[in-house]
Amino acid sequence: MRPRTIRQPGGRYRARAVRDRPRRIAVLGAGGFVGSHLVPHLAARAPTEGTEILAVDRTLEKLGSGLPGVRRVEADIAQPGLLEEVVRDADVVVSLTAICNPALYNTRPLDVIDANFTDLIPLVKLCAARRRWLVHFSTCEVYGRVALSATGRPMRAMVEDETALFLGPIARERWTYAAAKQLLERVIWAHGRHAGLPFTIVRPFNVIGPRMDFIPGVDGEGIPRVLACFLNALMRGEPLQLVDGGRQRRSFLDVGEFVAAVGRILERPDACQGEILNLGNPRNDVTIRALGRGLAGAYRAQHPDAPAPRFERVDAETFYGAGYDDTAVRVPSIAKATRLLDWRPRLQLTQMLPAIVADYVARYAEPIAAGVSSRQPRVAAGGRRG
Ligand code: UGA
Inform me whether the pLDDT recorded for 20 exceeds 70.
Answer: no
pLDDT, tens digit (0-9, with 9 covering 90-100), for 81-95: 999 999 999 999 999
Which residue ranges have their beta carbon within 6 Å of ligand 1? 100, 102, 139-141, 177, 204-207, 225-226, 229, 241-243, 246, 248, 250, 288, 326
Distance 248 CA to ligand 1 centre (A): 10
Neighbours of 231 (CB within 10 A): 26
Checking if the pLDDT of 17 tops 70, the result is no
- At 19 the pLDDT is 54
SS3 of 62-109: the string is HHCCCCCCEEEEECCCCCCCHHHHHHHCCCEEEECCECCCHHHHCCCH
45 pLDDT above the threshold of 90? no
pLDDT beyond 90 at 301: yes
Q: Is residue 298 part of a domain?
A: no
Residue 373: per-residue pLDDT = 52
pLDDT at 70 over 60: yes
User: Per-residue pLDDT tens for 187-210?
Assistant: 999 999 999 999 999 999 999 999
Tally of structural domains, the chain: 1
Torsion of CA 153, 157, 162, 166, to 10 degrees: 60
pLDDT category, 7, cuts 50, 70, 90? low
User: Rounded CA gap, 227 and 248, in Å?
Assistant: 14
225 within some domain: no
Mean pLDDT of 339-350: 98
Q: Is residue 54 situated within a structural domain? A: yes
Computed over every residue of the chain, the mean pLDDT equals: 92
Whether 223 is in a domain gets the answer no
Q: Considering the domain boundaries, does residue 182 fall inside one? A: yes
pLDDT more than 90, % of the chain: 88
Radius of gyration of the chain (CA): 20
- 85 is in which domain, residue-wise? 3-208+254-283+332-346
355 CA to middle of ligand 1, Å? Answer: 20
Strands 13-18 and 24-28: unpaired
pLDDT at 386 over 50: no
pLDDT above 90 (res 31): yes
121-146: per-residue pLDDT in tens?
A: 999 999 999 999 999 999 999 999 99
Residue-wise pLDDT tens digits, 309-332:
999 999 999 999 999 999 999 999
Query: Which pLDDT score, from 0 to 100, does residue 64 have?
Result: 86
Residue 113 lies in a domain: yes
- Residue 292 included in any domain: no
Q: What's the mean pLDDT in 230-242?
A: 98
Annotated catalytic residue, options 105, 177, 299, 320? 177
Measured in Å, residue 226 CA sits from the centre of ligand 1 at 5
Ligand 1 atom closest to residue 316's alpha carbon, by position in its atom list: 28
**What's the pLDDT at 104?**
98
Q: Is residue 57 part of a domain?
A: yes
CATH number at residue 186: 3.40.50.720
Question: b/e map of 157-181 (b: 16 or more CB within 10 Å)?
Answer: bbbbeebbbbbbeeebbbbbbbbbb
CA distance 327 to 9: 28
pLDDT band at 11 (very low <50, low <70, confident <90, very high): very low
Could you tell me which of 114, 104, 178, 168 has the C-alpha nearest to residue 141? Answer: 178
